[in-house]
Structure 1
Amino acid sequence: MTQAQESSTSPATRPATSRNGWPGVAALALGTFTVVTSEMLPVGLLTPMGRSLGVPEGVAGLTLTVTGLVAALSAPALVPLLGRADRRTALCVLVVGNLGAAWAPDFGTMVVARVLVGIGMGGVWAVAAGLAVRLVPAKSAGAATSLVFSGIAVASVLGVPAGTYLGALAGWRAAFLAAAGLGAVVLVAAALLLPRLPAERVVPLGGVLRLTRDPRLRTGLLVVGFLVTGHFAAYTYVRPVLEDVTGVGAGTIGALLLVYGIAGVAGNFLAGAGAARSPRTTLLVIGTVLALTVAALPWLGGSPALAAVLMAVWGLGYGGVSVATQTWVLLAAPDAREAASSLFVGVFNGAIALGALAGGLVADRVGVTAVMGTGAALVAGALVTTAVGRAPHPRLPGRDPVHDPRT
C-alpha cells in the first residue's frame, strides 16, 4: 500500500459513525428492497411483456438475465469509476432504467432500460452494506447490516408479488413505473437521511481485483459462488418440482413460497446476529441446513404439510446467506469495504445466472427433480470451502473492525 493510500484510510479522512444513523440505515434497507424488486419484476410479468413487445416468453425472460449479468460485471468497475463521487448517483440510474422499462416501445429499448437497471443495481449493492457500518457505532454494525439485507427477503415476500398484482390490475408498464416511483422515494430519503457519501478510499480497478489475493476474501467469494449457484440451480425450478412431487396446484405453491419468504426474513436477522460473532460457524450451519433440505425435498415433499416444513427451513437457511457472506467479506477487507463489496456483488449476481443455467441444463437432460441433487451438491462444496478455507476474525463487541488490529 502506498503512502497516499494509507493516508486516505486514516481515521481523520473517514466519515465518523453516528449514534443517530438508524434512519439512514432504514433508507438503505428500502434501497435494497427497491433493487431486488426492480430486478425480479419480469418474473411475474413475462407473458404480458412478451405479448406487448412482440417476443416469446423465453426471449422476454432475457430481461432478467441481462440485468443480473450487467450488475455482476458493473459492480467491481463502478467503485473505481465513481471515485469520490456521491454514491447516491447509483439510485438515479436505477430510477431512469425503470422509467425506460415502463416506456419501452420495443424489445431493444427494454433491453437498454434493463441494462441501466443492472448498472444501478451494481452501484447500490456495491456500497449498501459498507455504508451501513459507517452510520452506526461499531457495536451495532451487525444489526445494521442485517437490517439493510432484510430488504432482499421482504422484496421476495411483498415486492415481487405486489408488482405482479399491479401488473394484472393496471398493466405491466404500471409495475415498472411504480418501481421507478419507489426508487425516487428512496432517493429523496437518502438525500434527507444520509450524509454525503463519498468513498472511504479510492481504489483503482486493478486494486479491486488485487484484493482477491487475500485468502480470507478469496475463501468468502468462493463460498458465495457455491452457495448462491447451488441455491438458484434448485430454487429456479422449485415450482415444477413441487408440482411433480407434491401434486399441488398454483394456489398452494403460492402459499408455500410465501412461507419460504417469511422464514427468509427471520433467517436474515438470525444469521446477522450469528455472523457478527462467528461468520464461519454461521455459514457452516446455513450450508448444512440448505444441503439437507434441498436434497430431502424430492423424497420427503410428497405431503403438502411436509413440503411446507421443508420450504420454511429452506427459507430460514437461505435468508441468512446474504448477510452472513457479506459480513465475512467486510471483515476480510476492513480497509476496502466498498471495493470488497463490489466483488461480492459481482460474484453473487454471476452465481444467480450460473445457477439458473446449470439447473436448466440438468432439468432438460436428467429431469426436473434432479436439480435438487445438483443444488445440494454445490452447497456441499460451499460447506467444504467454509470448513477448510481461511476465515476472518469476528468483530469483537465495541470494536470497529477497521481499527481493531486483531482483524
Structure 2
Amino acid sequence: MQQQTHQPPATAHWFAVFSLFMGVTSLISAEFVPISLLTPIAKSLNITEGMAGQTVSAVGIFAVIASLFLSSVAKTTNRRTVLLIMSAMLIGANTLIAFAPNYILLLIGRCILGLCVGSFWSLASAVTIQLVPEKDISRALSIVYAGVSVATIISLPLASYLGNIIGWRSIFLLTALLGVAAFICQLLTLPALPAQADSNFKQMLLLLKQPWVATGMLATIFSYGGYHIFFTYLRPFLQHTLALPANTLSILLLIFGSGNFAGTIVAGWIMHKHFKPAMIISHIILFILAVTLLFSHNNQATESALIIAWGFMFGFLPVGWSTWIAITLANKAEIMGGLSVAAIQFAIGLAAAIGGIIYDHQGIQGIFLSSALIFIAALLLIKISFAQYTRTTAKPFS
C-alpha cells in the first residue's frame, strides 16, 4: 500500500494547538457532565436515573459512528472547516439540551453531541501533526489531550458543585459558552488544513489487515478498558467504600483531575524521546496501582494517594496512543484517528457495562482485580504490536 510522505511545518502553530485543546476540553466536558448531574436531570424531566444515564451512552454510540465514517463523508473538505462546523454543532447541541422540555429532545441533543465528539476527536491527532514540526509532536499532543484532564475537573467536581447552586440546565449553558470560546479561538488561529489522501472506510479496513495495527487497536481497547472499568465506579468507591465526606470527596476529585492534567504534560515531555519504555512502564505502574488497591484495607489517606497516582498515570494513555499513531502512520493519521476513537469509545462503554456486573456481584475488589488483569493483557498486546511493527517495517521503536 503506497503512502504519502507527511510533511510537517517548519514552525509550530502553538495558538492553533491551544485552540484544539479548547475544543477537546469543551467536547469532553459536555460528554461527561451528566455523570455528576444524573439525579437532578432525572427529577427535572420525570425520568429514572438509568434513563438519564443513557444520555452518556448515546454520545458514545454516535461518537463511534462519526469516527468511523467522517473521512468518507467529508472526503476532501478542508479540515479547518470540519472542525469549525463540529464546534458550532457543539454549541447548538448544548443549547438544545439546556432548554430541552422533555427526554426525547434531551436525547436528540446528546446524539448530536456524539457526532461532534467522534468527528473532532478522530481528527485531533491528524490535525495536531500538521501544526507542528516532528520534534514537537509529542508536546503538542500532550497539550491537546490535556483537554481531557481539564474536562475531568469540569465534569466531575466543578459541575457537581455548581449544579447544586445554579441548576443542571445552567451547567449545559456554561458548556455551550465554553464551546463559543473554543469556536472563536479556532476561527482566529487554525490555518487551512487539507484532507489527507485516501482517508475513507475502505482504507481503514486495509489498515486493520496489517497485524501490528489490529493488535495495536486491541491493545488500545484493553488499555482504556483497564482504566475506565475503575474510573466509572470511582465516585461510588470514594463515597461508599472510603466513606469520604462530601467536601473531601469533591476536593479529592479536583486533585485527581489536576493530577491527570500533570500526567498528560509530563507524558508529552517523555514520549518523544522514550516512547517504547514510557508506554510499557506506564502500563506496568497502572497494573501495580490496581494490585495495591486490591490488597489495601480502606485506609483513606493511602488509597486517596493511590487514586491521585492513578489519575496522574492516565495522562500517559491518550498521549502515548496518539504518539504511536504519529510515529507509525503520520500520513494516515486521520483514518488511524477514526479507528482509535472507535476503539476508545467501545472500551469505555464495554468497561462500564462489564464493570457494572462485576461491581454488583464482587464489589470494588472485583473491579480492582479486573483492572489489573486487563492491564496485563494490554501490556502483552503492546509488546506484540511493537514486535510486529518492527518485523514488518524494520523500524524499531525508540
The normalised TM-score by structure 1 is 0.89
* Pair 392,259 (structure 1): closer, same or farther in 2 beyond 3 Å: farther
The one of 52, 63, 71 aligned to 2:55: 63
Contact 1:80 1:202 in 2 (8 A): no
Cα distance in 1 for residues equivalent to 2:348 and 2:252: 21
Contact 1:233 1:375 in 2 (8 A): yes
Q: Does 1:163 align with 2:165?
A: no
Q: Residue deviations 1:173-196, cap 9 Å, x none?
A: 111112112112211111110112
User: What SS is found at the alignment partner of 1:84?
Assistant: coil
Tell me what 1:369 maps to.
365
Cα distance in 2 for residues equivalent to 1:32 and 1:392: 32
Cα distance in 2 for residues equivalent to 1:61 and 1:50: 9
The one of 130, 150, 161 aligned to 2:146: 150
Moved more, 318-327 or 198-207: 198-207
Tell me what 2:223 maps to.
227
Q: Residue deviations 1:168-217, cap 9 Å, x none?
A: 22221111112112112211111110112331224221112221122332
Tell me what 1:40 maps to.
32
Tell me what 1:176 maps to.
172
Contact 2:143 2:265 in 1 (8 A): yes
Tell me what 1:101 maps to.
97
- Aligned partner letter, 1:70: F
Moved more, 85-94 or 24-33: 85-94
Cα distance in 1 for residues equivalent to 2:12 and 2:324: 25
- Aligned partner letter, 2:166: A
Tell me what 1:276 maps to.
272
* The structure with more helix, counted as a fraction of residues: 2
Aligned-residue offset at 1:243: 4.3
Cα distance in 2 for residues equivalent to 1:239 and 1:301: 18
Q: Residue deviations 1:38-75, cap 9 Å, x none?
A: 10110111111111211011110100111112112221
- Aligned partner letter, 2:218: L
- Aligned partner letter, 1:141: I
Contact 1:96 1:180 in 2 (8 A): yes
Q: How many residues align?
A: 390
* Pair 391,117 (structure 1): closer, same or farther in 2 beyond 3 Å: farther
Moved more, 228-237 or 106-115: 228-237
Tell me what 1:236 maps to.
232
Q: Residue deviations 1:73-128, cap 9 Å, x none?
A: 22111122111223222222222211211121111111111000000001110111
Pairwise mapping of residues 4-403 of structure 1 onto structure 2 (< 5 A)?
9=4, 17=9, 19-85=11-77, 86-88=81-83, 89-300=85-296, 302-390=298-386
* Pair 114,391 (structure 1): closer, same or farther in 2 beyond 3 Å: farther
* Pair 406,383 (structure 1): closer, same or farther in 2 beyond 3 Å: closer
Cα distance in 2 for residues equivalent to 1:216 and 1:112: 38
* Pair 51,23 (structure 1): closer, same or farther in 2 beyond 3 Å: same
Contact 2:31 2:56 in 1 (8 A): yes
- Aligned partner letter, 2:47: V
Cα distance in 1 for residues equivalent to 2:103 and 2:10: 46
Percent identity of equivalent pairs: 28
Contact 1:71 1:349 in 2 (8 A): yes
- Aligned partner letter, 1:340: M
Cα distance in 1 for residues equivalent to 2:91 and 2:205: 29
User: What SS is found at the alignment partner of 1:45?
Assistant: helix
Cα distance in 1 for residues equivalent to 2:166 and 2:244: 29
Moved more, 193-202 or 309-318: 193-202
Aligned-residue offset at 1:246: 3.0
Cα distance in 2 for residues equivalent to 1:210 and 1:157: 38
Aligned-residue offset at 1:148: 0.5
The normalised TM-score by structure 2 is 0.91
Tell me what 1:398 maps to.
none
- Aligned partner letter, 1:127: L
Q: How much is the aligned-residue C-alpha RMSD, in angstroms?
A: 2.3
* Pair 79,256 (structure 1): closer, same or farther in 2 beyond 3 Å: same
Cα distance in 2 for residues equivalent to 1:314 and 1:301: 17
Q: Residue deviations 1:348-379, cap 9 Å, x none?
A: 01111111111101111222331111111111
Moved more, 225-234 or 164-173: 164-173
User: What SS is found at the alignment partner of 2:258?
Assistant: helix
- Aligned partner letter, 2:61: L
* Pair 392,258 (structure 1): closer, same or farther in 2 beyond 3 Å: farther
Aligned-residue offset at 1:280: 2.7
Contact 1:257 1:311 in 2 (8 A): no
Contact 1:79 1:126 in 2 (8 A): no
* Pair 52,280 (structure 1): closer, same or farther in 2 beyond 3 Å: same
User: What SS is found at the alignment partner of 1:390?
Assistant: helix
Contact 1:216 1:332 in 2 (8 A): no
- Where do 5+ consecutive residues of structure 2 fail to align? none
Contact 1:230 1:375 in 2 (8 A): yes
